Structure 1
Amino acid sequence: MAIPLSYNVRNLRLRKGLTIMTALGIALTVATAVFIMALLAGLNRAFGTTGDPLNVLVLRKGSNSELAAGGIQREAMQVLKELPGVTKNSRGEPLASGEDILVIVLPRKDGTGEVNVTTRFLTPLGIEMRPSVKLIAGRWFTPGQREIVVSKSINQRFARANLGDTVHIGNGDWTVVGIFDSVGTAHESEIWGDINQLATDFERTVYSSVLLRATDPLAAEALKNQANDDQRLELNGMLEPDYYASQTKSGRPIRFVGFIVAVIMAIGSSFAAMNTMYAAVAYRGREIATLRVIGFSRPSIVTSFVLESLLLSLLGALVGIILMLPFNGMTTGTQNQVTFSEAVFSLRMTPGVIGTAIIFAVVMGLLGGIAPAWHAARREILAALRD
């Protein structure tokens, strides 16, 4: 015969002070875990959803990022844009964009210091090949002019990133003429400018990367293989989504530190739940003995106390998740471990994050409830009645 769940609910209500304190401890642990998982989910979304499967990114062989890439000669660029499978726009131009990456320093708006920011120099075709990026204010840069367009996140987080502001790059000042929104992708961490003006200012005759647009997915695979197999060019081609997925190294420090913090806090919360349940066993000795006398078995008592601990942990999980809801979608940043510039992203409380948090709380409840429940079931009836 099972003990009714209402019995556990009543006991938690009777011990309001202890119940609230334990639930708050679990809530803080769950909130911390949710915060860390939301950070990682946002970072993974920023890099994992960036790129078009029809786009092929070409780097110098041996390079794993655009910033660290060696130079791709302009002659190689001409060969790449004429490969079969490269699509053309309505004007008959092959969709191929030679690009370069620089890191500049901008001050934060809140005055907390300066941060490295990725600046991408590309052609108007490069903008055309990224249709998910939308202009939301101002205009795109004019080729041959010292003009830049900043992402919405850069505009919100950094000084000198408003329309009309100037940023010193290389030999001159570049004017902010537009703001774009890349819908939470890795381009939210970037500033865009004209590649030809950069080449003039820095006397650069090479690109750090070339982006090609294929006619279809099969052509994209073929373009990637052609770039890899041509021994004359010594290039490394990859699908654009694969490249950005490989850049999630930025999340490794967060994942490591977060795991350590979550484990330490989980152990503490489990002991708090265990202490609460042990206190309940000591306080309700006669009550437990009475349950035995009227016919409830030891397994029923174990199950009842474990359920009570689970109710406590689920209450804490609910409070912890509610505490984190205002932070969902908050923009933050971390250092990109590949480019050493700031990667901007938003916290994402996905269904997976919430589900994992609930499982996390259930595990804490089980760890905190099993030992007290076993202790309660093992007590002799006469000894408990005499307490």
Structure 2
Amino acid sequence: MRILNQIIAVSAINLKSLPQRFWLSFSTIVAVAMVVMVLLSFLAMAAGFQRTISGSGSDNIAILMRDGSQQEINSVVMLDQVRLVGEAPGIVRKPDGNAVISAELYVIVDGIKRSTGLKSNLPMRGIGLDGAPLRDGWAITRGRMFEPGSNEIVVGENLLREFAGFDLGREIKLGTATWKVVGVFAMNGSVFESELWGDVTVVQSMFRRGNSFQTIRVRLENQDAIDGLRTYVENEPRLKLAVQSEKGFFAGQSSGTIKLIRNAGWPLAIAMAIGALAGALNTMYSSVAARSREIATLRCLGFGGFPSFVATLLESLVLAAIGGGLGALVTFLFFDGFSTSTLGEGFTQIVFSFSLTAALVQQGIVLALIVGLIGGFFPALRAARLPIVAAYAQG
């Protein structure tokens, strides 16, 4: 109990004297805040990208592509294969008995990014009548859906926000044809909002793709029906296609980009943390030197070295915690919800928003406390071992 009282007393003295070392303490807080801000901005970017991708898939939708293709753009599916898939078991059927199926074409077109004015690759998807209803949460928010057989397109809200030239009613040249934007659609912020949609037969014609497609989407009766569909495809020699759930497909597409963003954020944050650590050490050593006479006086009054050690370490942790909290606050104010785009696995831009979660803030605060712990340990050790005579000589 006596030790605890001494720790509380010495800690109170240390914290009350912080205004006397304001600029040193402030520099440490700012350094730690910058470390946390850099880390959290990268992690928020990865979390936002992951949320956009993970919100795009459904377990009740199956995607079929050419066996061995990892991305839609590398796949080729022919019309006769589409017809065979339409006869497979486990697929939801309309009142007329036809399968709910969408054979789709995925091509790359040019777009101009609003923030930089530079050209970027954008995905244009050709879909059939069932293409839009197959997407859960899909809705036209402005204008109307394109007319089948026409040079009309609808634009995702995210793409419209980040790229110029796709405003409602605008005519734009894509490929060899001029297209008119007749509608804007939303889909709960999913990756599909980064796309342009047009009638698949027109896209085939204008991009000279004949009767070929790249993916087939079907709505399953239930999640377990994908096993029956996979068995059907494997037993049909004319269908050399890979079957996977839409959710699983997008999870695989996002893993590489998410890992890249995180792997960039942590090393940069750690490198900056080393610089912040040097600042913390300088601050705490200066703090011990400035309070050397106080420490010696307390030792003469019967205070042990351990309370000085704990109190100095606590001071460092307090400064680091303030810096961590400040860095998290700045990241939240400036980056949470910030919209941007990055290159996805299909070599096209995916628009997403940064997402700063409580779990990410916790990681930032932990890193800040680690900086404070290491930065305060050796100065705290010096305070605990400071000889009384030497302390008075320094004071």
Equivalent residue, structure 2, for 1:218: 224
Deviations 1:96-144 (A, max 9, x none): 1101100100122345211110111111211101122222111111111
Q: Secondary structure at the match of 1:58?
A: strand
Normalized against structure 1, the TM-score is what?
A: 0.94
CA–CA distance in structure 1, aligned partners of residues 228 and 381 of structure 2 = 64
Measured at CA, do residues 227 and 10 of structure 1 come closer, stay the same or move farther in structure 2, by a change above 3 Å?
A: farther
Is 2:331 the partner of 1:324?
A: yes
Asked if the contact 2:104–2:128 (Cα under 8 Å) also holds between the matched residues in 1, the reply is yes
Equivalent residue, structure 2, for 1:60: 66
Equivalent residue, structure 2, for 1:227: 233
Is 2:341 the partner of 1:333?
A: yes
Measured at CA, do residues 148 and 332 of structure 1 come closer, stay the same or move farther in structure 2, by a change above 3 Å?
A: same
Q: Number of matched residues?
A: 385
Question: Which amino acid is the alignment partner of residue 238 of structure 1?
Answer: Q
Q: Tell me by how many angstroms 1:50 deviates.
A: 1.5
1:164-203 → structure 2 map (5 Å cutoff):
164-201=169-206, 202-203=208-209
CA RMSD of aligned residues (A): 1.8
Question: Which of 27, 39, 42 does residue 36 from structure 1 map onto?
Answer: 42
Equivalent residue, structure 1, for 2:81: 76
Equivalent residue, structure 2, for 1:283: 290
Equivalent residue, structure 2, for 1:304: 311
- Structure 2: unaligned runs, 5 residues or longer: none
CA–CA distance in structure 2, aligned partners of residues 224 and 296 of structure 1 = 75
- Range 359-368 or range 222-231, more displaced: 222-231
Question: Which amino acid is the alignment partner of residue 292 of structure 1?
Answer: R
Q: Tell me by how many angstroms 1:230 deviates.
A: 4.0
CA–CA distance in structure 1, aligned partners of residues 235 and 267 of structure 2 = 44
Equivalent residue, structure 2, for 1:342: 349
Question: Which of 51, 59, 63 does residue 45 from structure 1 map onto?
Answer: 51
Asked if the contact 2:32–2:323 (Cα under 8 Å) also holds between the matched residues in 1, the reply is yes
Asked if the contact 2:305–2:384 (Cα under 8 Å) also holds between the matched residues in 1, the reply is yes
Equivalent residue, structure 2, for 1:386: 393
CA–CA distance in structure 2, aligned partners of residues 235 and 199 of structure 1 = 21
Q: Secondary structure at the match of 1:168?
A: strand
Asked if the contact 1:19–1:312 (Cα under 8 Å) also holds between the matched residues in 2, the reply is yes
Equivalent residue, structure 2, for 1:135: 140
Asked if the contact 2:162–2:341 (Cα under 8 Å) also holds between the matched residues in 1, the reply is no
Deviations 1:194-247 (A, max 9, x none): 112122332521110101111111113432444355443111111111111111
Q: Tell me by how many angstroms 1:7 deviates.
A: 3.1
Asked if the contact 1:116–1:340 (Cα under 8 Å) also holds between the matched residues in 2, the reply is yes
CA–CA distance in structure 2, aligned partners of residues 319 and 263 of structure 1 = 18
Question: Which amino acid is the alignment partner of residue 247 of structure 1?
Answer: Q
- Range 339-348 or range 245-254, more displaced: 245-254
Asked if the contact 2:14–2:311 (Cα under 8 Å) also holds between the matched residues in 1, the reply is yes
Q: Tell me by how many angstroms 1:82 deviates.
A: 1.6
- Structure 1: unaligned runs, 5 residues or longer: none
Deviations 1:141-189 (A, max 9, x none): 1111111111112111222110111222333111111111222221122
Measured at CA, do residues 377 and 172 of structure 1 come closer, stay the same or move farther in structure 2, by a change above 3 Å?
A: same
Question: Which amino acid is the alignment partner of residue 45 of structure 1?
Answer: R
Equivalent residue, structure 2, for 1:256: 263
CA–CA distance in structure 2, aligned partners of residues 142 and 381 of structure 1 = 89
Identity of aligned pairs, percent?
30
Question: Which amino acid is the alignment partner of residue 180 of structure 2?
Answer: T
CA–CA distance in structure 2, aligned partners of residues 109 and 386 of structure 1 = 65
Question: Which of 165, 173, 177 does residue 160 from structure 1 map onto?
Answer: 165
Normalized against structure 2, the TM-score is what?
A: 0.92
Measured at CA, do residues 49 and 227 of structure 1 come closer, stay the same or move farther in structure 2, by a change above 3 Å?
A: farther
CA–CA distance in structure 2, aligned partners of residues 347 and 101 of structure 1 = 26
CA–CA distance in structure 2, aligned partners of residues 260 and 216 of structure 1 = 43
- Range 287-296 or range 34-43, more displaced: 287-296
CA–CA distance in structure 1, aligned partners of residues 23 and 235 of structure 2 = 70
Equivalent residue, structure 2, for 1:274: 281
CA–CA distance in structure 1, aligned partners of residues 99 and 360 of structure 2 = 42
Q: Tell me by how many angstroms 1:55 deviates.
A: 0.6
CA–CA distance in structure 1, aligned partners of residues 138 and 304 of structure 2 = 65
Q: Secondary structure at the match of 1:120?
A: strand
Q: Tell me by how many angstroms 1:91 deviates.
A: 5.7
Measured at CA, do residues 111 and 15 of structure 1 come closer, stay the same or move farther in structure 2, by a change above 3 Å?
A: closer
Question: Which amino acid is the alignment partner of residue 376 of structure 1?
Answer: A
Asked if the contact 1:198–1:204 (Cα under 8 Å) also holds between the matched residues in 2, the reply is no
CA–CA distance in structure 2, aligned partners of residues 331 and 264 of structure 1 = 27
Question: Which of 119, 122, 135 does residue 114 from structure 1 map onto?
Answer: 119
Deviations 1:15-34 (A, max 9, x none): 22221121111111111111
Measured at CA, do residues 111 and 363 of structure 1 come closer, stay the same or move farther in structure 2, by a change above 3 Å?
A: closer
Measured at CA, do residues 330 and 90 of structure 1 come closer, stay the same or move farther in structure 2, by a change above 3 Å?
A: farther
CA–CA distance in structure 2, aligned partners of residues 350 and 181 of structure 1 = 24
